[in-house]
């Protein structure tokens, strides 16, 4: 986007962490922000902080895995601000564990929030962003776990690869129009992600107070989410498709591509294809 001043953004998971970082950066740039989150009190506090700083901000309670609630949130955004230009599909939860061991409730939870949450966001908001003819942008939060597969996180990795796939598809589909598309692939960022269980809905087993210890151990040295918020704003203005928060992790992606190339080298000499 060339100009974001006065434009409207809807941010899922905007009550905390990177989503709130995005909300602050967008408001500082003169945008209007609607936060959609499952946690009412942190969301109210976030909006109060933005408003105190002089921003036009509002919120709507939404569970991104619930299609009807996401469509209702889109309606509320239009009722509040008239239009919407930027969608940040950012809400996500961390489920740790090997694919064969994670129970079906947790599998469903992570897929419903991390994948269906993004699909619901696209289906509810993209037609609205396209409807006014002005420029727009979609940012979906994946992870470095959407670029390389970390051990012991099969379900999470699967959802984050899916977010990259959806985003890259959108990039191809909107190459020639005024919709920008980015996928945010953070490394470790100091947020409440290790406490994801605080928001596990009843149908998946309810609140889980356990803190994800391996993730929590990384957080004190991890990046400030406000920096990521500013980086996302810069990426929207630069129309930058891939947003990496930790350039030192490039080597993991290079290593993955090296292994993929080895697969093609093997196929070049494979007896069955001769
Ligand atoms: N923190 C990291 O190191 C890291 C790294 C890579 C990717 N990510 C991704 O970043 C995104 C943002 O997470 P964060 O790190 O800021 O964590 P966070 O827990 O601080 O923020 C996540 C927000 O999403 C909300 N949320 C959770 N479930 C929801 C639901 N069903 N509907 C609506 N809102 C819901 C939470 O209430 C919270 O406000 C997630 O998609 C996460 O997977 C985080």
Q: Give the whole-angstrom CA distance, residue 74 versus residue 64.
A: 11
Please give, one letter per residue, the 3-state secondary structure of the chain: CCCCCCCEEEEECCCCHHHHHHHHHHHHCCCEEEEEECCHHHHHHHHHHHHHCCCCEEEEECCCCCHHHHHHHHHHHHHHHCCCCEEEECCCCCCCECCCCCCHHHHHHHHHHHHHHHHHHHHHHHHHHHHCCCCEEEEEECCHHHCCCCCCEHHHHHHHHHHHHHHHHHHHHCCCCCEEEEEEECCCECCCHHHHHHHCCHHHCCCCCCCCHHHHHHHHHCECHHHHHHHHHHHHHHCCCEEECCHHHHHHHHHHHHHHHHHHHHHHCCHHHC
Rounded distance between C-alpha atoms, residue 11 and residue 228, angstroms: 14
* Of 121, 256, 116, the residue nearest 181 (C-alpha): 121
Are 77 and 129 spatial neighbours (Cβ–Cβ below 8 Å)?
no
* Each residue's pLDDT tens digit, 109-124: 999 999 999 999 999 9
| CA gap 258, 261 in Å, rounded | 5
Residue 118 belongs to some domain of the structure: yes
CA of 37 to the centre of ligand 1 (A): 10
**How sure is the predictor about 6, in pLDDT bands with cuts at 50, 70 and 90?**
very high
Regarding the beta carbon of 193 and ligand 1, being less than 6 Å apart is answered: yes
Is 267 a domain residue?
no
Q: Is residue 262 included in any domain, yes or no?
A: no
Could you tell me if residue 145 is inside a domain? Answer: yes
pLDDT at 128: 98
The arithmetic mean of pLDDT across residues 93-98, rounded, is: 95
In the chain, % of residues over pLDDT 90: 98
Q: Which atom of ligand 1 has the smallest separation from the CA of 223?
A: 3
What's the rounded Cα separation, in Å, for the pair 158 and 259? 19
Average pLDDT over residues 234-261: 98
CATH number at residue 221: 3.40.50.720
> Would you call 242 a catalytic residue per the annotation?
no
Q: Is residue 256 part of a domain?
A: no
Q: What was the pLDDT predicted at 167?
A: 98
The pLDDT assigned to 15 comes to 98
Whether this prediction's pTM lies above 0.75 is answered by yes
* pLDDT tens-place string over residues 150-202: 899 999 999 999 999 999 999 999 999 999 999 999 999 999 999 999 999 99
Instruction: Using the atom order of ligand 1, give the atom closest to the CA of residue 64.
Output: 32
274 in any annotated domain? no
Burial code (b: 16+ CB inside 10 Å, e: under 16) for 117-156 equals bbbbbbebbbebbeeeeebbbbbbbbbbbbbbeeeebbbb
Work out the pLDDT band at 140, boundaries 50, 70, 90: very high
- Ligand 1 atom closest to the CA of 142, numbered from 1: 7
* Amino acid 103: pLDDT: 96
Residues 12 and 63: their CA atoms lie apart, in Å, by: 9
Mean pLDDT over 14-33 rounds to: 98
Give the model confidence (pLDDT) of 55-90 as tens digits. Answer: 999 999 999 999 999 999 999 999 999 999 999 999
Determine the distance separating the centroid of ligand 1 and the alpha carbon of 121, expressed in angstroms: 15
Q: How far is the CA of 16 from the centre of ligand 1 (A)?
A: 7
128 token code pair = 């609205």
Picking from 198, 164, 194, the residue whose alpha carbon sits closest to that of residue 181 is: 164
Structurally, the chain folds into a number of domains equal to 1
Report the pLDDT value the prediction gives residue 64, as an integer from 0 to 100: 98
CA distance 229 to 239: 15
Quote the pLDDT of residue 169: 98
Q: What is the pLDDT of residue 25?
A: 98
Range of the domain at 207: 8-249
* Residue 173 pLDDT: 98
Q: Is residue 254 part of a domain?
A: no
Structure confidence at residue 78 (pLDDT): 98
Catalytic annotation, pick one of 10, 156, 161, 204: 156
Return the pLDDT at 23: 98
For 188-237, the pLDDT digits (tens) are: 999 999 999 999 999 999 999 999 988 999 998 999 999 999 999 999 99
Q: Does residue 269 fall inside a structural domain?
A: no
């Amino acid at each position: 986007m060339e100009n974001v001043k006065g434009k409207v953004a809807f941010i899922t998971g905007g009550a905390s962490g990177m989503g709130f970082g995005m909300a602050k950066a967008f408001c500082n740039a003169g945008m209007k922000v609607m936060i959609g989150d499952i946690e009412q009190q942190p969301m109210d506090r976030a909006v109060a902080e933005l408003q105190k700083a002089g921003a036009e901000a509002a919120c709507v309670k939404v569970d991104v895995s619930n299609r009807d609630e996401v469509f209702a949130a889109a309606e509320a955004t239009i009722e509040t601000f008239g239009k919407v230009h930027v969608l940040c599909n950012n809400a996500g939860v961390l489920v740790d564990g090997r694919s064969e061991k994670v129970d079906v409730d947790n599998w469903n939870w992570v897929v419903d929030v991390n994948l269906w949450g993004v699909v619901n966001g696209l289906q509810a908001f993209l037609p609205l962003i396209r409807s006014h003819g002005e420029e727009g942008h979609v940012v979906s939060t994946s992870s470095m776990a959407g670029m390389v597969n970390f051990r012991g996180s099969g379900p999470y990795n699967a959802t984050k690869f899916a977010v990259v796939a959806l985003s890259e598809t959108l990039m191809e589909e909107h190459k020639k129009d005024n919709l920008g598309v980015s996928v945010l692939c953070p490394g470790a960022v100091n947020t409440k992600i290790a406490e994801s269980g605080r928001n596990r809905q009843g149908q998946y087993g309810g609140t889980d107070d356990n803190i994800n210890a391996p993730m929590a151990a990384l957080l004190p040295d991890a990046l400030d989410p406000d920096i990521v918020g500013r980086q996302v704003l810069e990426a929207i203005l630069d129309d930058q498709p891939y947003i990496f928060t930790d350039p030192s992790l490039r080597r993991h992606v290079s290593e993955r591509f090296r292994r993929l190339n080895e697969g093609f080298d093997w196929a070049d000499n494979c007896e069955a294809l001769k």
